[in-house]
Structure 1
């Protein structure tokens, strides 16, 4: 069965430009690039509490149509939804869906943007995610 997020794959016609954009967003450099850092067809980042992987693949290898707002939405937990949405739009993303309360004030709130390469990037506050992190902490 499904065990957890392994890698999220985004597509871009200009992998180098996408790498640079995500480096600005994440504040880290991609740790992996093939065939080379100068002319990448694939780059990968690891980040966040669980070192999730985000891979950016040259769109010519996509098995589906790639374009503005195509694909499933993967939501990444953030601590400050409003500030993160503002940062994304400041970096050139466009709002796909404004902030929505998903559950009658239970703390689940989402928003999404389309990055400059046509991928939908979801962000959310998720109390379950926070609880999982707390549960992973060793007992004191």
Structure 2
């Protein structure tokens, strides 16, 4: 590992939820996997974490009572992290069926670029994107 002063990649994205048990149930349905880490315990977690996607990115969900004061605002806010999906329209339908509300409609941004975003039942924005850049990077990685 180098010791450079640069952003090297997303290590973790954290969302907030008032009801972590409900968030765990919702995200487990959406992602199709159980969280691999729960603290302090699975029965009453303050934090849960999933590893998902091609690069096993970490999605953490934290009980909102631990949020910094500025993050305790009402309504969605903050940055939108876009997750690459092969079928934005299909995934948009899926998350809406699970109870998310549309934040940004399905938008064609150019050849092979499509985005949309939703707000989960806990107030977090989930961005969806079909990105040819993501596919280029994935295809360039040697596979065993």
Shorter chain as denominator, the TM-score bin is over 0.9
Name the counterpart of 1:84.
91
Q: Say whether 1:70 aligns with 2:70.
A: no
CA distance in 2, matches of 1:15, 1:49: 25
Q: Say whether 1:96 aligns with 2:114.
A: no
**Post-superposition offset of 1:68:** 2.6
SS in structure 2 at match of 1:96: strand
Instruction: Determine which of 42, 46, 54 is the counterpart of 1:41.
Output: 46
Task: Evaluate the alpha carbon distance shift between residue 129 and residue 35 of structure 1 in structure 2; reply closer, same or farther with a 3 A threshold.
Answer: same
Q: Gaps (5+ residues) in structure 1?
A: none
Q: Gaps (5+ residues) in structure 2?
A: 1-5
Q: Aligned pair count?
A: 137
CA distance in 2, matches of 1:59, 1:119: 11
CA distance in 1, matches of 2:84, 2:115: 9
Task: Evaluate the alpha carbon distance shift between residue 135 and residue 41 of structure 1 in structure 2; reply closer, same or farther with a 3 A threshold.
Answer: same
